[in-house]
Amino acid sequence: MAKSKFQTIVEVPKFLWETGYGKKNLFMGSCFTENVGNKMAALKYVVDINPFGILYNPMSVANALELLLNEKVFSENDLIRHNDLWHSFSHHGRFSANEKNEALQKINDRIHTSSDFLKHTDFLFLTFGTAWIYRYKKSGEVVSNCHKIPAKEFTRERLSVTEIVEKYTGLLHSLWEVNPKLKVIFTVSPIRHWKDGAIENQRSKATLLLAVEELVQLFANDKCAYFPSYEIVMDELRDYRFYAEDMLHLTDVAVNHIWEIFEESLIDRESKRVAKEIKKIVLAINHKPFNKRSAEYLNFLQKTAKMIAELEEKSLHFNLKLEKDYLNVQLKEFRLLD
């Protein structure tokens, strides 16, 4: 007798390439892209995550990529002052500051670093959250963040599939001219934008899904692909226990489930093996000793340091400097206490 199935499983398409240690990975887009990007960062993969902060719509993501390609240097003319803070319409509020020069330094330092990263990265992961955009009436520009400026200062509109496809067709060609090896993986965020309402949220997501489908088909899967994070949540995790208290964002359990599928589908076998060792090291570093003067703790520190040394002998494509520095400090303190 066949077993009953209590879950609809989403079949993830076979990807033509894999990432791993030794590869660079740039993540841009909605808060969901940070969920996955931070998983990779925690395991010491080479990543750059949201150099402009969280970006929700495809046009803001595209504009940010163009700014990185051109290594735009921001000046006072690119900022707006509101509520005693200097803001950039291209950036999340994490880049805002009381002092103009502080905001500019944060913005320009990150653009400089991430511009170089984009031009040499192996993978670009783009996550779109909504097809709705806001335009600042005074300039007509699409803003990435309204920074709590009154709504009357903006117009709101929904992008069409055609607008998204046309924008990215040209942009992708520009990216590949600078970085021919670049592989682009699109995702649509499973996080619902409930302020748009249930109906408009669905239409927005449908627009994103159709636009991404057209882009992937346009480039015949050669340099573009789609990872079905949206479908995994909507079908495999079709239960409110996988959502946070706001019933919109995902729980850690849900994020971990998507990460496991992502890892299995897009990360090479050797990197997955190394990641298990790195996870052991990270967990060990986070261990809080009961007695810092015990022989057991000294042995623990020495054993962890040995684990790092042995792993580094096999590969140099990850950075455990913070962990090594922490161990050295702990060992030094132990000797001082002894």
Domains and CATH numbers, the chain: 24-267 (3.40.50.1110), 276-337 (no CATH)
- Taking residue 248's Cβ as centre, other Cβ atoms within 10 Å add up to 14
**Per-residue confidence band for 152, with pLDDT thresholds at 50, 70 and 90:** very high
Yes or no: say if 317 and 21 are a contact pair by the CB < 8 Å rule: yes
- Which helix or strand (DSSP H or E) is residue 76 part of? none
Yes or no: say if 50 and 28 are a contact pair by the CB < 8 Å rule: yes
From residue 139, give the alpha-carbon distance in Å to each of 107, 142, 224: 21, 9, 33
pLDDT one-digit tens code per residue, 265-314: 999 999 999 999 999 988 888 877 777 777 887 888 888 888 888 888 87
- d(CA 135, CA 298) in angstroms, rounded, equals 59
Is residue 3 scored above 60 in pLDDT? Answer: no
Yes or no: say if 185 and 225 are a contact pair by the CB < 8 Å rule: yes
Comparing 102-111, 185-194, 271-280, 299-308, which segment has the lowest mean pLDDT?
299-308
Secondary structure of residue 24 in the 3-state scheme = strand
Type of residue found at 178? V
pLDDT at 319: 82
pLDDT at 222: 80
From residue 60, give the alpha-carbon distance in Å to each of 64, 68, 131, 205, 290: 6, 12, 10, 16, 49
Is residue 180 scored above 70 in pLDDT? Answer: yes
pLDDT at 330: 80
pLDDT one-digit tens code per residue, 196-235: 889 999 999 999 999 999 999 999 778 999 999 999 999 9
Q: What average pLDDT does the segment 81-88 reach?
A: 97
The tokens describing 52, both together, are 């402009």
**Per-residue confidence band for 2, with pLDDT thresholds at 50, 70 and 90:** low
Q: Tokens 């949540």 map to which residue?
A: 233
The tokens describing 291, both together, are 């007695």
**Per-residue confidence band for 336, with pLDDT thresholds at 50, 70 and 90:** low
Count, residues in the chain = 338
**Per-residue confidence band for 98, with pLDDT thresholds at 50, 70 and 90:** very high
Yes or no: say if 27 and 61 are a contact pair by the CB < 8 Å rule: no
- What dihedral do alpha carbons 273, 278, 279, 285 form, nearest 10°? 160
* Residue with more model confidence, 95 or 286: 95
Comparing 25-29, 138-142, 301-305, 329-333, which segment has the lowest mean pLDDT?
329-333
Is residue 149 scored above 90 in pLDDT? Answer: yes
DSSP string, 108-132: HHHHHHHHHHHHH-SEEEEEE--SE
Q: What average pLDDT does the segment 244-264 reach?
A: 93
pTM > 0.85: yes
pLDDT at 1: 47
From residue 52, give the alpha-carbon distance in Å to each of 43, 109, 158: 23, 11, 22
Yes or no: say if 316 and 286 are a contact pair by the CB < 8 Å rule: no
What angle is formed at CA 60 by the lines to CA 103 and CA 147, rounded to 5 degrees?
45
* Mean pLDDT for the chain overall: 92
Nearest to 118 by CA among 44, 65, 170, 174: 65
Is residue 157 scored above 60 in pLDDT? Answer: yes
